[in-house]
Amino acid sequence: MSVSSSPSVPRSPSTSAPAAPTQADLLDFARRTAADADLIASLPLDPDGRTWVRLEGPGGSEAWLIGWPPGTGTGWHDHADSVGAFLTARGELKEYSLAARLPTDGWQTLELSEGVDRERHLPAGRGRAFGHHHVHEVLNESAEHHAISVHAYYPPLPRIRRYSRTGQVLRLEQVERPEDWQ
Structural domains of the chain, ranges and CATH numbers in brackets: 23-102+112-157 (2.60.120.10)
Q: For residue 88, count other CB atoms closer than 10 A to its CB.
A: 26
Per-residue pLDDT at 102: 80
- Provide, rounded to the nearest whole percent, the portion of the chain with pLDDT above 70: 90
Q: Bigger pLDDT: 178 or 88?
A: 88
Whole-prediction pTM: 0.86
* C-alpha separations of 170 from 2, 42, 96, 134, 177 in Å: 70, 37, 13, 14, 20
pLDDT band at 118 (very low <50, low <70, confident <90, very high): very high
Mean pLDDT, residues 16-39 taken together: 93
Per-residue pLDDT at 1: 37
pLDDT for 2 beyond 50: no
